[in-house]
Structure 1
């Protein structure tokens, strides 16, 4: 908790909290007694007009979620949009964010990443969504609950590939914090072998698709293709180059047409 955050929570007229009881314990810990109002996914649409009206009258409101950063798989989007559309200043007060904390310590590529949030709860929808993410070359980041972590890891291994490198970050910044890295298949086994590995709040990070998986042509694959084109017909050269490099035969064939 930063000094700036404590100062703001003590100075604002109202705190809009995902769970007023949860936030109340935080305020009590720091000796603050700022009034609170609930703002969660089930009442946000109804609460926003009254909150924006108070802001328009010159009051100040702090928006907080139970953990991490508001709007990142948490409530607050409608309020922020409505406030900005009304010309009200919205200022971020940076604090912990699980996906960034996990990424920074995961050892997976961090130059490009896709935050997917929570996957669908139902297996068919979850696997369909994972299939749509399969060829993305960026690091994939998911949130997951203790109720579904085992099923989610199993589906990831089967749809994305069991040999993909991944990290499960559990209970970040808390007493039982754990970051476990392995292949997706290895993490499925790790999670199943100890009940404690299924407890808490999870961030799952999965390495992006390789060039072979996406069909992107590598320098080595093109070198192999050029050599084979000097000895074989295009179709045979593309087929053999695909077997050698793992690159899609269609990708190699199209590149062969260009080279010819």
Structure 2
């Protein structure tokens, strides 16, 4: 079936997103592609077998990880140039988002091979979709430095916070990492945490850095699992005027929320002065 839908004489390289925890998150399209490809390049073939067994995928696999990426990428390009189709998967989520595969993709583009994304799970987008932090703009850093001194310098380099910064962190370092966030940005910095996303003990946190640190210090369970962390951008200079779009949101929220709560939400959404929004809302009730 796959060969009939692909006009190119060479094979296609499919970049396939796989579940980050919940096996039910694998898409129907991903299952079809993984079943039909001649080869599946896996970050860890043993790890991928769990997904394959769940869906009855009997694929020829080849390991592609950071230690053999250059050698095996050349081999896979040979398969593709001979007309075979290859799927690339990582241990979890969308490949190349802090996972191996860059060399293979680069060689494929240079060789004129068709590269096709099969989108699906990603810890990054799953987290940002629910944490309610400002993402316009945001910067994703992947895994940040492991050593404490280097991580401290990394955090210092983010100042001033003109964008929301998102990164992955391990259970072994997360407490120290959040402690450093409090030190560098202050306890009132707005942060988010996604722990064990899509898994049984999934936990989403949004609040201040100080509150997150208190939570982790008081509950050791909050130090277990895989983490996505974010530090929200600081508010820019105050906007002199509230434009029509800002006013419209304030008008829409006013019947449903107390003035201060409505003002806070509007101010955070549009990054404008909360006092000005509050005064505008009060003027509505007075008119």
User: If the length of structure 2 is used for normalisation, what is the TM-score?
Assistant: 0.73
Q: How many residues align?
A: 217
> Which residue in the other structure is 1:117 paired with?
142
Whole-Å separation in 2 of the counterparts to 1:192 and 1:35: 46
> Which residue in the other structure is 1:90 paired with?
115
Higher relative contact order (CA closer than 8 Å, sequence separation 6+): 2
For the pair shown, the structure with the greater C-alpha radius of gyration is 1
Question: Which deviates the most, 57-66 or 39-48?
Answer: 39-48
Whole-Å separation in 2 of the counterparts to 1:197 and 1:134: 27
Shift of 1:189: 1.4
CA contact (8 A) 2:89 2:95 kept: yes
Whole-Å separation in 2 of the counterparts to 1:111 and 1:124: 29
> Which residue in the other structure is 1:16 paired with?
41
> Which residue in the other structure is 1:240 paired with?
none
CA contact (8 A) 2:161 2:232 kept: no
> Which residue in the other structure is 1:151 paired with?
176
State yes or no: 1:140 paired with 2:133.
no
5 Å-filtered alignment, 1:233-252, equals: none
5 Å-filtered alignment, 1:150-169, equals: 150-169=175-194
Whole-Å separation in 2 of the counterparts to 1:150 and 1:53: 45
Whole-Å separation in 2 of the counterparts to 1:19 and 1:143: 20
Structure 2 residue matching 1:90: 3-state secondary structure: strand
Whole-Å separation in 2 of the counterparts to 1:46 and 1:163: 48
State yes or no: 1:182 paired with 2:232.
no
> Which residue in the other structure is 2:217 paired with?
192
Shift of 1:25: 1.2
Q: Which sections of structure 2, spanning at least 5 residues, go unmatched?
A: 1-25, 242-272, 274-287
Shift of 1:172: 0.6
Off by >3 Å, runs of 4+ in structure 1:
216-220
State the Cα deviation string for residues 196-254 of structure 1 (Å, max 9, x = none).
1011110011111233xxxx47549xxxxxxxxxxxxxxxxxxxxxxxx9xxxxxxxxx
Whole-Å separation in 2 of the counterparts to 1:158 and 1:71: 31
User: If the length of structure 1 is used for normalisation, what is the TM-score?
Assistant: 0.80
Whole-Å separation in 2 of the counterparts to 1:160 and 1:120: 18
State the Cα deviation string for residues 61-115 of structure 1 (Å, max 9, x = none).
1000011110001111111001110110110000111111111100111232111
CA contact (8 A) 1:134 1:209 kept: no
Structure 1 residue matching 2:193: 3-state secondary structure: strand
CA contact (8 A) 2:186 2:209 kept: yes
State the Cα deviation string for residues 13-39 of structure 1 (Å, max 9, x = none).
000001101111110111111111111
